């Protein structure tokens, strides 16, 4: 099969398209012919050797796929040809394995690209909104990096939950998309005073900030929170980890929480199961759909990763394989 290989840690441009052996499903696994794979910012960190966990090269990057089952391991009763989606290692390839226990059927009427784009970002955003911040109808939720993968998922979900959304992003084009997806207010945080605009637009009542960006945006967003608000840190797409003055947390009675999708199920199994059930139902019912801003063939995976690394993406980037 054809696959993208990371032969040594480095930038996307050093990835190689290669012929490799087909994977074989182990007991409890599905072998999936990949129709679409989604690109996420952590993929950029994985190939650079900068993620929290490291995979020794050579390896096939990518962890989010949708496709059809072509073989099964021992103990698996899944029907061949079934459309499934899920997360795995080695997504940027024509074939990949999924654990049968975590693979989900693609709902009727949903295409492979939307299924591939759904899982990681929407689960991250929903766990943060539902279980961590416990957002209620009418709450003001500030979303940083609101036109990116996690950000736009958070906009969609917060609106679906009845919250009022202030979307913060870096260009008019990105903010236009956020308004189309239901954001009530927007801030161009590269050209406006983020702290003051949060206070003005929410009437000094912003209860939650979701931050998948970090960098220089985190502190002014935290300063814009209302007294007793919650700041949820989700990632650092801006490239630097912010240092927050703790006196701000004390003086405003602010709660700072972190949420990592990789460990959430282990730390909060009951909440995770509830969230996934609710989220899956919303997806199946058509209440939420990922926005796909760009698509690339497998041979141009390096360009897709560069697109994400440079924060040019609107919504999700998809690798089309079939």
pLDDT confidence of residue 272:
94
- Residue 133: which pLDDT band, with cuts at 50, 70 and 90? very high
pLDDT confidence of residue 199:
97
Q: Decide if 163 contacts 302 (C-beta within 8 A).
A: no
pLDDT confidence of residue 58:
96
Q: What percent of the chain has pLDDT over 90?
A: 88
pLDDT, one tens digit per residue, over 235-264 is 888 778 999 999 999 999 999 999 998 899
pLDDT confidence of residue 273:
93
pLDDT confidence of residue 212:
94
Return phi, psi of residue 182, to 5°: 115, 0
Residue 53 pLDDT > 90: no
Give kind and range of the element (H or E) at residue 296. Answer: strand 292-297
Cβ atoms within 10 Å of 189's Cβ, excluding its own:
23
pLDDT, one tens digit per residue, over 208-227 is 999 999 999 999 999 999 99
Q: How far apart are the first and last CA of the chain?
A: 13
pLDDT confidence of residue 193:
96
- Residue 150: which pLDDT band, with cuts at 50, 70 and 90? very high
DSSP 93: B
Q: Which of 65, 125, 55, 129 is nearest to 97 (CA)?
A: 65
Instruction: Give 281's contacts (C-beta < 8 A, 6+ positions apart).
Output: none
Q: How far apart are CA 10 and CA 299, in angstroms?
A: 18
pLDDT confidence of residue 311:
79
**pTM of this prediction?**
0.90
pLDDT confidence of residue 52:
81
Q: What percent of the chain has pLDDT over 70?
A: 100
Residue 196 pLDDT > 90: yes
- Residue 78: which pLDDT band, with cuts at 50, 70 and 90? confident
pLDDT confidence of residue 310:
87
**Average pLDDT of span 36-44:** 94
pLDDT confidence of residue 239:
79
Residue 135 pLDDT > 90: yes
Q: What's the whole-number average pLDDT of the chain? A: 94
Residue 185 pLDDT > 90: yes
Q: How far apart are CA 172 and CA 186, in angstroms?
A: 9
- Residue 320: which pLDDT band, with cuts at 50, 70 and 90? very high
pLDDT, one tens digit per residue, over 289-300 is 999 999 999 999
pLDDT confidence of residue 28:
95
Quote the tokens at residue 144. Answer: 């940083």
pLDDT confidence of residue 105:
93
């Amino acid at each position: 099969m054809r696959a993208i290989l990371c032969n040594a840690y480095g930038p996307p441009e050093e990835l190689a398209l290669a012929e490799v052996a087909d994977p074989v499903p182990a007991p409890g696994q599905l072998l999936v012919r990949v129709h679409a794979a989604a690109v996420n910012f952590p993929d950029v960190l994985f190939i650079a050797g900068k993620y929290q966990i490291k995979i020794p090269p050579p390896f096939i990057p990518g962890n989010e796929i949708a496709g059809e089952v072509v073989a099964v391991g021992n103990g698996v009763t899944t029907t061949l040809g079934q459309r499934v989606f899920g997360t795995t290692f080695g997504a940027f390839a024509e074939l990949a394995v999924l654990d049968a226990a975590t693979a989900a059927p693609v709902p009727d009427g949903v295409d492979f690209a939307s299924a591939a784009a759904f899982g990681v970002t929407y689960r991250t955003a929903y766990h943060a909104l539902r279980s961590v911040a416990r957002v209620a109808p009418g709450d003001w939720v500030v979303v940083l990096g609101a036109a990116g993968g996690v950000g736009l998922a958070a906009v969609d979900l917060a609106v679906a939950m009845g919250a009022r959304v202030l979307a913060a992003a870096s260009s008019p084009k990105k903010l236009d998309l956020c308004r189309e997806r239901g954001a009530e207010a927007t801030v161009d945080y590269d050209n406006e005073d983020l702290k003051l605009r949060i206070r003005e637009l929410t009437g000094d009542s912003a209860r939650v900030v979701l931050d998948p960006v970090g960098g220089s945006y985190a502190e002014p967003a935290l300063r814009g929170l209302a007294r007793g608000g919650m700041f949820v840190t989700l990632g650092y797409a801006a490239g630097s980890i912010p240092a927050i003055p703790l006196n701000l947390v004390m003086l405003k009675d602010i709660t700072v929480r972190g949420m990592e999708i990789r460990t959430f199920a282990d730390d909060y199994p009951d909440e995770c199961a509830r969230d996934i059930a609710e989220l899956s139902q919303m997806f199946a019912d058509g209440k939420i759909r990922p926005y796909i801003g760009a698509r690339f063939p497998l041979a141009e995976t390096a360009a897709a990763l560069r697109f994400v690394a440079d924060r040019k993406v609107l919504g999700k980037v998809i690798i089309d394989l079939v």
